[in-house]
Amino acid sequence: MARITFAGESLIAQKQGAKEVLQITRFIYANVPGLDPNTPIDRAATKPPASQIVHSYDIPAGNCGYVNPNQVVYSSMLGSDIGDFDWNWMGLESAEGVLFAVAYLPLQQKRRNIPPLQIGNNVTRNILVEYSGAQELTGITIDASTWQHDFTVRLKGIDERERLSNRDVYGRACFFGDGLQFQKVGDNYQLAAGIAYLEGMRLELPKAVPLSPPQGATQVWMHITWRREQNDVIPSWKVVYMPDQQDSVTPDGWVYCIQLADITSAGVIADKRKSAPIAGPLVDHFASRKSVADLENGVTSAGKARQLAEARQIALQGDVVGRVDFDGSRNVAIQATLADIGVVPGTYPKVVINGKGQVIGSEALQPIDIPNLDWNKITSGKPTTLLGYGITDALRTGYSNQLPRFYSDTPSTNYIHAALEIREVGLVHNSNLNWEYAPRLGFHWGGQVAGDLAMNAQGAIAWNGSVLYHTGNLKPQDIVPAGTLIQSFSNIPPPNCLRCNGAAVSRTAYAALFAAIGDYYGAADGSTTFTLPDTRGLFIRDVDNGRDLDAGRVLGTFQSSQNQYHAHSASTGSAGWHAHGGSTTSVAGSHIHAFNYVNTPTTQDIPGIGAAMHYAGVNSAATNRIQPAGDHSHTLNIVGDGAHTHPVTVNPSGGAEARPVNMALYYYIKY
């Protein structure tokens, strides 16, 4: 199966973007050593080197057809006149020289038809490519059908039969009158106009052709051959000045040499043509039927010669001998005798034959002779089974290190033409559809039994009973649909993904993605391209869809940075010291206090009620001399003053945007 290369995909995008026609112009055939046709095609590879390219085929306009609007097919036909070469690599090339598509194949043979040595073959190869809008992009208007009909061998056969038929009539060379005569006119030489049949090929010169022979004595020869020109073959000729030319064969066919003239050292021309005085229809130059009849009936003198004047003897010599006298008066027969070469009569299992076709001996049969024994030559005792012929089992049992290779002779998608068929247990057909009867292949590595690959009753392939999914029953697009957002730690886009960077891309090349998101994020040029989402530097938030945490938002809308409502604690600096001038208190508080006295000898000072006097020599003073009294209040009048302000400082925090703890990743969109 052919695959479009990465370069081919890029060319498709370029042509679609530029609204230009994509032209695929050439098939390339190559023989790549060691190429495994079962390996995946390297879509990034370039053309093989020139030393490996064995043939190229320019694609005619009629060999390009469409299957449907998204599929086009290109066809090449190699006739039996092309070869010889082997090939296992085939590619399509665009008019710009871009390798567009590649296919790997088992080694193929192309042989040229070279009767009777080799029978050639015709090779027809088609490559179908599929991509969106293929028919429109390539401008192909022909509905794909069978184009190729190789009549190369047939037409060559017709040409050769006509040439031989002409040769039977005209002989090796027949020049009509002065046609193609080598002439000297004045000081110049020319080949005269006219008609000639040379080796059955009709050559006509409508006017004389100037020639320039070398100085001195020489021979003048004409070389003539068939030359292919488009869909026809025509005589191709040239005049050469060389002695004793001989017919020769080339890869393009036979070249016949016919001598026209000799030129002496004195410049004298000797005409070597075999000409006939034919100047009109050839039938006018045939001998009359009456003259021939008169000869046969003896009317003319030549017709009366019934007997030889002198008898002659006809003899056989060599391995077959015999003789007889003959004078023309009667029919004769020779009694032939084979020479005795010493072979003993008898029946031999194997005979020896010499170059003359004679049996000269015998040999015993050798084992090597048996493979060459034609089965049809065995008239009795043909075995119908292997029993009794030294083979007990046609299939090898047990372990084997052989590499079996199976292939089918019939191209088909029907299972009966498959190279290998695995059947259900016991050939129960549909009588038992249990899983245990499924056709299966088992896999075993040492002590590890991996499991089996089998087909269930519904025709699905299963591994250990679980159905295997593939592009036939599970499309990759259904696993990760177009328009899916993918995060990655790598700056290399995953397969079938594009960077979410707001770029404009082709609506045709990424048709599935365009069907999923349309021009919601931008129409680009409005016709052939559309705009991708741009998620660079943004957080992703799920659409609110009625929950009212982010009310009013719709798909793909942008929302600027914002902080949630909150409070801050604040402090003020010290300030505002002042005085109030003119403040007064009212007068109040007049009162009396009772006084304790000491009633002691003059030499003692003892507390007690008495006079407030004591002896002066006493060291300690008595306490509680005056009793408490006089609780009261004062009215205070303060004059207003000191209006002032206090600066409040809130400490800053944060940067240019509001964000949570985060990590930067790459966002891609599936197409």
CATH number at residue 194: 2.60.520
Which segment, 463-477, 571-585, 641-655, is predicted with the most confidence on average? 463-477
Segment 180-184 long-range contacts (CB within 8 Å, at least 24 positions apart): 180/205, 180/222, 180/260, 180/273, 181/260, 181/261, 181/271, 181/273, 181/275, 182/211, 182/220, 182/260, 182/261, 182/269, 182/271, 183/208, 183/269, 184/267, 184/269
Nearest in space to 103 (alpha carbons), one of 210, 206, 1, 250:
1
- Going by pLDDT thresholds of 50, 70 and 90, the confidence category of residue 151 is low
Say yes or no: 108 and 164 in one domain.
no
Kindly state the percentage of the chain with pLDDT values over 90. Answer: 40
What would the two tokens of residue 12 be?
A: 């498709």
Task: Tell me, yes or no, whether 343 lies in a domain.
Answer: no
Q: Coil, strand or helix: which one is 497? A: strand
Task: Tell me, yes or no, whether 668 lies in a domain.
Answer: yes
Task: Tell me, yes or no, whether 433 lies in a domain.
Answer: yes
CA distances from 554 to 47, 549, 551 (A): 51, 13, 9
Say yes or no: 216 and 77 in one domain.
no
Task: Tell me, yes or no, whether 294 lies in a domain.
Answer: no
Kindly state the percentage of the chain with pLDDT values over 70. Answer: 81
Average pLDDT over residues 436-457: 87
Q: How far is CA 249 from the centre of its chain?
A: 40
User: CB-based burial of residue 276 (10 Å sphere; 0-12 exposed, 13-18 middle, 19+ buried)?
Assistant: middle
Say yes or no: 131 and 209 in one domain.
no
Average pLDDT over residues 429-450: 87
Task: Tell me, yes or no, whether 33 lies in a domain.
Answer: yes
Say yes or no: 7 and 141 in one domain.
yes
**pTM for this predicted structure:** 0.31
Q: What angle do CA 566, 569, 574 make, to 5 degrees?
A: 155
| Straight-line distance from the first to the last Cα atom of the chain, in angstroms, rounded to the nearest whole number | 24
Say yes or no: 137 and 277 in one domain.
no
Q: What is the Cα–Cα distance from 203 to 222, expressed in whole angstroms?
A: 11
Say yes or no: 117 and 48 in one domain.
yes
Which segment, 94-108, 304-318, 335-349, 444-458, is predicted with the most confidence on average? 94-108
The 10s digit of each residue's pLDDT in 523-556 is 999 999 999 999 999 988 888 888 888 888 888 8
Which segment, 133-137, 148-152, 277-281, is predicted with the most confidence on average? 133-137
Q: Residue 489 has what pLDDT?
A: 95
The 10s digit of each residue's pLDDT in 556-577 is 888 888 888 877 777 776 666 6
Residue 94: what are its φ and ψ, rounded to 5°?
-85, 170
Average pLDDT over residues 414-435: 88
Say yes or no: 266 and 123 in one domain.
no
Q: Which of 148, 171, 200 is the last residue of a domain?
A: 148
Say yes or no: 11 and 90 in one domain.
yes
Task: Tell me, yes or no, whether 106 lies in a domain.
Answer: yes
Q: Which of 425, 449, 467 is the last residue of a domain?
A: 467
Q: Using an 8 Å Cβ cutoff, are 590 and 574 in contact?
A: no
Average pLDDT over residues 496-522: 96
- Sheet architecture: strand order including 448-455: 440-445, 448-455, 461-463, 466-467
Q: Who's near 480: CB < 8 A, 6+ residues apart?
A: 486, 670
Say yes or no: 11 and 141 in one domain.
yes
Say yes or no: 460 and 523 in one domain.
no
- Going by pLDDT thresholds of 50, 70 and 90, the confidence category of residue 9 is very high
Task: Tell me, yes or no, whether 403 lies in a domain.
Answer: no
Task: Tell the residue number behind the tokens 């040595």, with chain if given.
Answer: 117
Q: What is the Cα–Cα distance from 648 to 655, expressed in whole angstroms?
A: 22
Q: Which of 89, 115, 148 is the last residue of a domain?
A: 148
- Which domain range does residue 487 map to? 476-562+662-671
Q: Which of 18-32, 196-210, 354-368, 619-633 has the lowest mean pLDDT?
A: 619-633
Say yes or no: 124 and 236 in one domain.
no
What would the two tokens of residue 200 be?
A: 């059955």
Q: Using an 8 Å Cβ cutoff, are 256 and 224 in contact?
A: yes
**Higher per-residue pLDDT: 268 or 381:** 268
Q: Which of 112-126, 212-226, 395-409, 410-424 has the lowest mean pLDDT?
A: 395-409
Q: Using an 8 Å Cβ cutoff, are 463 and 453 in contact?
A: yes
Q: Residue 254 has what pLDDT?
A: 93
Q: Residue 528 has what pLDDT?
A: 96
Please state the domain count of the chain.
4
Task: Tell me, yes or no, whether 646 lies in a domain.
Answer: no
Say yes or no: 69 and 118 in one domain.
yes
